[in-house]
C-alpha cells in the first residue's frame, strides 16, 4: 500500500465519501488510488473555487465533511476565497492539497509556492505529510479536526503519496461540543429576569427549527428581542417555523436594530459589528450602555444551552403562528415580487442558496410563508460563493428529492461561473435565478454613500453593461438548460417548470 | 486631499496609467478618487484572477508596471495564482488591495482576512498603509519596487483612503539593474575557451532579438549549446531572428537536452530543474559532472553581460538564416498543422500568448518561420494564466496595430473564462484559439506515467466531456464573436478573417 492508498482507505474509514476535485500532476498518485479503491464519489470541478465552495455546502446540508482535492500552491490559492466563507460559516472541510515531492521542494521548481502559508489563515488544522508511513495517521487527524467544524488542510508532497509503506489511519473519537456550565445559564437567566431590554443573538448551529422554538419560547416568556446574525450558514425557516429576522446589512439599519438594548446575549454568535466601517459611524453595533454576555461561545452547543435556559426560566413551548404563503406575484419585477413568487412556489424541503447581494437583501421577511426550507448565505462575504454552494448542496441532497434554488446576483456569478458545468454533468436538481441588473448595484449604492455622483471612470468600474452578459448562452455553453424571464409571469412559469423536472435549470431574470 | 486622492496623484506622477480593477466596498473612496482625478485608465475585470494576469502581461508588453485594484482579503486571494505566475516571470505589478479600516480590523468583521499573510509569498514589497498622510509615500515606494520587476502590494485600509491630509509622493529614482563584474565575465570566457561541452541557458529579459544575436554569436564562435528556460515570460522570435529552443517540459526530454554538458552557464536563468519530481528520476536536469556557473543572476543585466562576453571572446555578429514561412496546413488537425497555419498567417509584430498545455507543447519548433512576433508563456505554471495575459497584452498594445493571439487549452480556459468579457468591452484586437479536446490531456499523459489504466473514477476527473463545453456560446455570452473550426481549412479562414478585422474573436478548434 502506498501513501496515497493509505490516505484513501483512511478517508473512507473516517466517513468521507465525497471529494470535490480539481487535480493536477502532483496529485496523480492520489487520483490513481481513488480510482483503484472504491468508496469515494469524486466530483470534478473546473476550478478550485467551485471545489471549496461545494465542500462548504456539503457540510451545511449533510453535517459531514467532504474532502477537496486541490492542486499544489496556486490551486489552493484559487480555493481560498470560498474557504474563507467556509471558515466564517464554521464548516468542516478536509482539504487534500498536493505539493512538490519533499526532496524536490528545495529546488524551487516553477510551481513551488508557500502552500502552508496560504493555508494557515483559513485552516484550523494544517499539516504537511512527511512520509508515506504517516499519511494515514495525518488524514485521520485531519478528518477528526474537520468534524468539529473547522477546515483541516493536509498537504501531500508527491513522494509521500507514491512511496510504499502506507498505513491506514483509524477514525478518531470526536468529542461532542462543550456545553456552557450551570453558572453561565444561571447568570443569563438572571439578566432575562431583570426586565431590562434584552436581546438574544443567535448564530452557528442554533438556527434550526427545534432550537428556534426554544429561543422563541424564552423571548416570548421574558419579553426579549430575538435576532440572528447578519449572515448565516444555515437557517431552517418557512411556514410553521419560528420566523426569525437577521441583523440588517446596511449600517444604519444594523445599528437601529439594537437601539435601546441593555443586555445582549450571544448564542453561538459573535459580538455584532458593521460589515464595513463607515466614516463617523460606530463599528460595534450594540449601544454604549449595553452589556454583552455569552450564553454559548461559537464552539459550544448553544442548543443545549438554550434548552437549559428555557427550563431555568420555565419558558414552555409557544404556538408558532403559521404565515400563509403569498400568491405568486404578477406585476412589475422587483425584490418583493420575486420573494413572493419564490415563497409561493418553493417546493417543500428546498435548499435556498442566497447570493442575491443587494436585490436579495430584503427577501427574508417576504419568505416566512414559504414551504419549510433551509436558507444558506455566504457568511464570509467573499464574492462568488453562491454557485459553488449551490452545486455542493445539490450533490449532498442528490437522491433525496430536495430541490436547490440559487438566488444569484449577476456580478458575483461571474467569479465562479464554471460551477454550472458540474451542475450539468451531475444532473443536479438545481434552479438558478440570475438577478440580471447588469451592474454592481451594491457598489453603486456604496459609491452614493461616499457622497459623490459617479463619473465615467467610476461607472466603467461599477456598471456591467456594454456588453451585457447573456447568462442563457453561458449556461448553455456549459450544458445547463436556461431561459430568460422579463416578467413575473414568465419567472413564475419557469420556476414552476424547473421544480417539476429533474436536472439543473437557469433563469436569467432581467430586472431592468 | 484625502489619502485616496494622494494615492492617485502619486501613481500618476510615478508613471502608472493603467489599473486593472475589480473593486469592492472597502475600495470605494479609491474608486471615487480615480473618478475625480483624470489620468488613469481603469479596466474593469469580472474577477481578480483576470486583473492580476492582465497586469502581468501589461508589464511584459510595455515594460512598465500597471496597477491592480483588488478587494480586501479574499479578493487578493483570487488574484494569487496569476500573481504567482507574474512573480515567476519577474513582472513588475503594483497591487492596491483594500482592507478594513485600521480601527475596524480588530473587530474581526466577516470579510476580515490575513491580507498581508496571503500577499507576502508572491510580493517583493508588502506594506499596509497606516495613515492618509503617508499613503502617498507608500505608493511611491511601491511603484519604485515594481519598476525593478517585482510585485509590490500596498494594502489600503479604508480610513487611510477617506481621511483628509494626503500628501502626493514623489517618484523615486529606480537604479539600473546591476551588471556582473569583470572577473565573472573573464571566468565564463575561460570556460568557453576550454573547449569542454558548454551550454548557455538564457532566461529573463535576455530573450530579445539583440541579446539573442549576441548569445548566438558566442555559441557559434565557441561551439557552445544555447537554450532558453522551460517557460519564459517573453521571447522575441520569428523570421530573421535567432531561433532559440527551450528546455523541454517532459522530464526525460528535459534531462536529454543537457546530456554531455560539462559546463552550464546561467544568464538571468535559474539552475534548471524538473517541473515536477517523478519516482526514480533526478530533480536537477544537469549531469552530475557538470559545473554550474552564473554569468548574470536573475536580477542582473544579462544582455550587458553577454555583450561583454562576446567582446572578450571576439565573437562577431553572425548571419541568422531566415526560416521560410510554412504554408498554412490543410490536412488533418494536429499540433504540427496548427503550428504551421499559425506560422503562415501570423501578422507582423503579433503577441502570442501560449497556454496550449499539451497540444501547444511542440509549437515552438514549427513557428520560427512566422513573421517576427513576441511569444509569452505562463512561467509559474499556475493554470488559467492564458486568457488574462491575453487581455492585458491587448490592453497594453491597444492602438499599436499589433494583434494578440492566444493559444488556449480548453481545460485551463475555464479557470479565468470571465476574461472574455473584458476583451469584448474593450474591443481588444485579440484572436483566441481554444484547443478543444474535451479532456485534461496533460493529466491523462501523467496518469499513464503512473503506470495504470484510468478507470471510471479517474476518467471522471480527467475527462471534460459529458457535457462538452461549447466555447462559442460561452464567448457569445460575454459579447465576443466566435465560431467553431473542425478542419484546418476552416481554422485558416477564421484566423485570417480575425486578423483582418478589429476586436476580439474566438475560434473553438475541435481537435477530436
A240: Cα separation from own chain's centroid: 24
Residue B290 has pLDDT above 90, yes or no: yes
**What is the mean predicted confidence (pLDDT) over A80-97?**
98
**What is the mean predicted confidence (pLDDT) over A66-79?**
98
**pLDDT at site A174:** 95
How close does chain B come to A327, measured CA to CA in Å?
33
Whether A358 is in a domain gets the answer yes
Q: Which residue of A26, A107, A462 is in closest CB contact with B273?
A: A107
Chain A residues with CB under 8 Å of B47 CB are: 384, 414-415
Q: What is the pLDDT of residues A378-416, one digit of tens each?
A: 999 999 999 999 999 999 999 999 999 999 999 999 999
Taking the whole predicted model, whether its pTM rises above 0.90 is answered as: yes
Chain A residues with CB under 8 Å of B35 CB are: 452, 454-458
* Record: contact A421-B71, CB cut-off 8 A: no
| Residue that finishes a domain, picked among B107, B128, B162 | B162
* Record: contact B415-A78, CB cut-off 8 A: yes
A365 and A307 in a common domain: no
Q: What is the pLDDT of residues A468-479, one digit of tens each?
A: 999 999 999 999
Q: What is the pLDDT of residues A428-459, one digit of tens each?
A: 999 999 999 999 999 999 999 887 789 999 99
- β partners of residue A97: A70, A155
Chain B residues with CB under 8 Å of A158 CB are: 276-277
A300 and A210 in a common domain: yes
* More reliable by pLDDT, B358 or B497: B497
How close does chain B come to A449, measured CA to CA in Å?
9
Q: Which residue of B has its CA nearest to A29?
A: B450
Determine the Cα–Cα distance for residues B362 and B235; give it in Å rounded to an integer: 16
Chain B residues with CB under 8 Å of A108 CB are: 270, 273
Chain A residues with CB under 8 Å of B282 CB are: none
**pLDDT at site B355:** 97
B92 contacts B65 by C-beta, under 8 angstroms: yes
* More reliable by pLDDT, B217 or B364: B217
Calculate what percentage of chain B has a pLDDT beyond 90.
96
Q: Which residue of B has its CA nearest to A78?
A: B78
Q: Which residue of B77, B271, B276 is in closest CB contact with A84?
A: B77
At B198, the pLDDT band (50, 70, 90 cuts) reads: very high
Residue A243 has pLDDT above 90, yes or no: yes
Determine the Cα–Cα distance for residues A161 and A4; give it in Å rounded to an integer: 4
Q: Which residue of A28, A158, A380 is in closest CB contact with B111?
A: A380
Chain A residues with CB under 8 Å of B470 CB are: 476-479
Q: What is the pLDDT of residues B215-232, one digit of tens each?
A: 999 999 999 999 999 999
| Nearest residue to B79 via CA among B54, B109, B57, B105 | B54
**pLDDT at site B364:** 87
How close does chain B come to A18, measured CA to CA in Å?
12
**pLDDT at site B179:** 96
Chain B residues with CB under 8 Å of A101 CB are: 276-277, 283
| Residue that finishes a domain, picked among B109, B130, B162 | B162
Whether A324 is in a domain gets the answer no
Chain A residues with CB under 8 Å of B414 CB are: 46-47, 418, 421
Chain B residues with CB under 8 Å of A443 CB are: 23-25, 28, 31
In terms of Cβ atoms closer than 10 Å to its own Cβ (0-12, 13-18, 19+), residue A262 is middle
At B360, the pLDDT band (50, 70, 90 cuts) reads: confident
B150 contacts B111 by C-beta, under 8 angstroms: no
Whether A409 is in a domain gets the answer yes
Q: What is the pLDDT of residues B143-173, one digit of tens each?
A: 999 999 999 999 999 999 999 999 999 999 9
* Record: contact A111-B382, CB cut-off 8 A: yes
Chain A residues with CB under 8 Å of B121 CB are: 113-114, 117-118
Determine the Cα–Cα distance for residues B211 and A241; give it in Å rounded to an integer: 74
B139 and B32 in a common domain: yes
- Complex ipTM value: 0.98
Whether B177 is in a domain gets the answer no
Q: How many domains does chain A have?
A: 3
**What is the mean predicted confidence (pLDDT) over A42-61?**
98
B14 and B91 in a common domain: yes
* Record: contact A477-B473, CB cut-off 8 A: yes
A43 and A120 in a common domain: yes
Backbone angles phi, psi at A51, to 5 degrees: -60, -45
Residue length, chain A?
512
| Rounded (10°) angle between helices A386-397 and A48-62 | 50
Give, in degrees to the nearest 5, the angle at Cα A404 between A400 and A407.
Answer: 170
Q: Check which CATH number belongs to the domain holding B107 and give it.
A: 3.40.50.970
Q: Look-up: residue for cell 467553431?
A: B484
**pLDDT at site A58:** 98
* Record: contact B270-A108, CB cut-off 8 A: yes
How close does chain B come to A87, measured CA to CA in Å?
10
**pLDDT at site A398:** 97
At A92, the pLDDT band (50, 70, 90 cuts) reads: very high
Residue length, chain B?
512
Q: Check which CATH number belongs to the domain holding B221 and give it.
A: 3.40.50.1220
**pLDDT at site A512:** 78
Q: Which residue of B81, B414, B460 is in closest CB contact with A77?
A: B81
Q: Which residue of B277, B384, B421 is in closest CB contact with A100?
A: B277
B416 and B340 in a common domain: yes
| Nearest residue to A245 via CA among A214, A199, A291 | A199
Whether A291 is in a domain gets the answer yes
| Nearest residue to A7 via CA among A178, A222, A192, A158 | A158
**What is the mean predicted confidence (pLDDT) over A68-94?**
98
A285: Cα separation from own chain's centroid: 23
* Record: contact A454-B418, CB cut-off 8 A: no
- Strand order in B404-409's β-sheet? B235-237, B373-376, B350-355, B404-409, B430-436, B505-510, B481-485
Grid coordinates standing for B450?
A: 503512473
* Record: contact B447-A31, CB cut-off 8 A: yes
B327 contacts B350 by C-beta, under 8 angstroms: no
Grid coordinates standing for B193?
A: 575557451
Q: Mean pLDDT in chain A?
A: 97
Residue A511 has pLDDT above 80, yes or no: yes
Determine the Cα–Cα distance for residues B251 and A217; give it in Å rounded to an integer: 68
How close does chain B come to A162, measured CA to CA in Å?
8
Whether A177 is in a domain gets the answer no
Q: Which residue of A34, A279, A417 is in closest CB contact with B418?
A: A417
Alpha helices in A63-174 (DSSP H): 74-88, 115-119, 132-147, 158-162
Q: What is the pLDDT of residues A111-122, one digit of tens each?
A: 999 999 999 999
Q: Which residue of A113, A446, A477 is in closest CB contact with B470?
A: A477
Backbone angles phi, psi at A4, to 5 degrees: -65, -40
Backbone angles phi, psi at B237, to 5 degrees: -140, 180
Q: Look-up: residue for cell 481588444?
A: B428
Determine the Cα–Cα distance for residues A125 and A174; give it in Å rounded to an integer: 14
**pLDDT at site B365:** 86
Alpha helices in B16-131 (DSSP H): 28-36, 48-62, 74-88, 115-119
| Nearest residue to A422 via CA among A380, A393, A379 | A393
Q: What is the pLDDT of residues B60-72, one digit of tens each?
A: 999 999 999 999 9
Chain A residues with CB under 8 Å of B231 CB are: 110
Residue A255 has pLDDT above 90, yes or no: yes
**pLDDT at site A453:** 87
A468 and A505 in a common domain: yes
* Record: contact B111-A275, CB cut-off 8 A: yes
Residues 6+ apart with CB under 8 A from A368: A237, A238, A239, A243, A323, A343
**Interface mutation target, options A25, A275, A358, A412, chain B, most CBs of B under 10 Å:** A25
Q: Specify the 3-state DSSP secondary structure of B312.
A: helix
**pLDDT at site B98:** 97
Whether B225 is in a domain gets the answer yes
Residues 6+ apart with CB under 8 A from B395: B18, B20, B43, B54, B58, B426, B428
B239 and B140 in a common domain: no
A139 contacts A14 by C-beta, under 8 angstroms: yes
Q: What is the pLDDT of residues B471-495, one digit of tens each?
A: 999 999 999 999 999 999 999 999 9
**What is the mean predicted confidence (pLDDT) over B431-449?**
93
**pLDDT at site A450:** 81
Determine the Cα–Cα distance for residues B401 and B395; give it in Å rounded to an integer: 12
Whether A89 is in a domain gets the answer yes
Pairing type for strands B18-22 and A235-237 reads unpaired
B452 and B362 in a common domain: yes
Q: What is the pLDDT of residues B316-326, one digit of tens each?
A: 999 999 989 99
Determine the Cα–Cα distance for residues A295 and A299; give it in Å rounded to an integer: 12
Chain A / chain B CB contacts < 8 angstroms: 316
Q: What is the pLDDT of residues A199-225, one digit of tens each?
A: 999 999 999 999 999 999 999 999 999
At A360, the pLDDT band (50, 70, 90 cuts) reads: confident
**pLDDT at site B295:** 98
Whole domain around residue B31: which residue ranges? 3-162
Residues 6+ apart with CB under 8 A from A287: A258, A259, A260, A261, A262
**What is the mean predicted confidence (pLDDT) over A275-291?**
96
Q: Which residue of B47, B117, B470 is in closest CB contact with A414?
A: B47
B104 and B35 in a common domain: yes
Q: Which residue of A has its CA nearest to B274?
A: A109
* More reliable by pLDDT, A40 or B364: A40
**pLDDT at site B99:** 97
B383 and B235 in a common domain: no
* Record: contact A418-B421, CB cut-off 8 A: no
| Rounded (10°) angle between helices B488-500 and B335-345 | 30
Q: Which residue of B78, B113, B467 is in closest CB contact with A415?
A: B78
| Nearest residue to A54 via CA among A31, A82, A77 | A82
* Record: contact A467-B479, CB cut-off 8 A: yes
B209 and B116 in a common domain: no
At B361, the pLDDT band (50, 70, 90 cuts) reads: confident
Q: Which residue of A36, A110, A270 is in closest CB contact with B379?
A: A110
**What is the mean predicted confidence (pLDDT) over B278-305?**
97
Give, in degrees to the nearest 5, the angle at Cα A46 between A42 and A48.
Answer: 85
Q: Which residue of A has its CA nearest to B410?
A: A46
Amino acid at each position: 500500500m502506498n501513501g496515497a492508498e493509505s490516505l484513501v482507505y483512511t478517508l473512507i474509514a473516517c466517513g468521507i465519501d465525497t471529494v470535490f476535485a480539481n487535480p493536477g500532476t502532483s496529485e496523480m498518485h492520489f487520483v490513481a488510488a481513488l480510482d483503484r479503491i472504491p468508496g469515494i464519489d469524486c466530483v470534478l470541478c473546473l476550478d478550485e473555487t467551485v471545489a471549496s465552495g461545494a465542500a462548504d455546502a456539503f457540510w451545511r446540508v449533510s453535517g459531514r465533511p467532504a474532502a477537496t482535492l486541490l492542486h499544489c500552491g496556486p490551486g489552493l490559492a484559487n480555493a481560498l476565497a470560498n474557504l474563507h466563507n467556509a471558515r466564517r460559516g464554521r464548516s468542516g472541510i478536509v482539504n487534500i492539497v498536493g505539493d512538490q515531492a519533499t526532496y524536490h521542494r528545495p529546488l524551487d521548481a516553477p510551481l513551488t509556492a508557500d502552500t502552508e502559508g496560504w493555508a494557515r489563515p483559513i485552516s484550523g488544522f494544517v499539516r504537511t505529510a512527511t512520509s508515506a508511513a504517516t499519511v494515514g495517521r495525518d488524514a485521520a487527524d485531519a478528518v477528526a479536526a474537520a468534524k468539529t467544524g473547522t477546515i483541516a488542510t493536509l498537504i501531500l508532497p508527491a513522494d509521500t503519496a507514491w512511496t510504499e509503506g502506507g498505513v491506514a489511519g483509524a477514525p478518531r473519537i470526536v468529542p461532542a461540543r462543550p456545553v456552557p456550565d450551570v453558572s453561565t445559564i444561571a447568570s443569563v437567566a438572571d439578566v432575562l429576569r431583570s426586565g431590562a431590554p434584552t436581546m438574544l443573538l443567535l448564530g452557528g448551529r442554533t438556527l434550526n427549527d427545534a432550537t428556534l422554538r426554544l429561543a422563541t419560547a424564552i423571548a416570548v416568556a421574558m419579553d426579549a428581542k430575538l435576532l440572528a446574525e447578519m449572515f448565516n450558514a444555515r437557517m431552517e425557516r418557512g411556514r410553521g417555523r419560528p420566523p426569525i429576522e437577521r441583523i440588517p446589512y446596511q449600517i444604519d439599519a444594523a445599528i437601529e436594530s439594537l437601539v435601546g438594548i441593555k443586555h445582549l446575549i450571544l448564542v453561538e454568535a459573535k459580538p455584532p459589528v458593521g460589515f464595513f466601517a463607515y466614516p463617523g459611524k460606530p463599528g460595534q453595533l450594540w449601544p454604549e450602555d449595553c452589556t454583552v454576555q455569552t450564553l454559548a461561545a461559537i464552539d459550544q452547543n448553544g442548543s443545549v444551552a438554550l434548552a437549559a435556559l428555557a427550563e431555568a426560566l420555565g419558558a414552555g413551548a409557544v404556538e408558532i403562528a403559521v404565515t400563509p404563503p403569498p400568491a405568486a406575484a404578477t406585476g412589475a419585477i422587483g425584490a418583493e415580487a420575486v420573494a413572493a413568487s419564490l415563497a409561493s412556489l418553493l417546493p417543500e424541503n428546498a435548499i435556498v442558496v442566497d447570493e442575491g447581494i443587494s436585490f436579495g437583501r430584503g427577501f427574508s421577511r417576504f419568505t416566512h410563508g414559504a414551504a419549510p426550507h433551509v436558507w444558506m448565505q455566504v457568511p464570509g462575504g467573499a464574492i462568488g460563493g453562491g454557485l459553488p454552494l449551490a452545486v455542493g448542496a445539490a450533490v449532498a441532497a442528490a437522491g433525496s428529492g430536495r430541490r436547490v434554488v440559487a438566488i444569484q446576483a449577476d456580478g458575483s456569478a461571474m467569479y465562479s461561473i464554471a460551477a454550472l458545468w458540474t451542475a450539468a454533468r451531475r444532473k443536479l436538481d438545481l434552479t438558478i435565478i440570475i438577478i440580471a441588473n447588469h451592474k454592481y448595484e451594491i457598489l453603486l449604492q456604496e459609491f452614493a454613500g461616499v457622497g459623490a455622483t459617479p463619473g465615467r471612470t467610476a461607472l466603467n468600474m461599477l456598471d456591467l453593461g456594454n456588453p451585457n452578459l447573456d447568462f442563457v448562452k453561458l449556461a448553455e455553453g456549459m450544458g445547463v438548460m436556461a431561459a430568460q424571464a422579463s416578467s413575473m409571469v414568465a419567472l413564475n412559469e419557469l420556476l414552476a417548470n424547473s421544480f417539476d423536472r429533474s436536472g439543473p435549470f437557469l433563469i436569467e431574470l432581467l430586472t431592468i
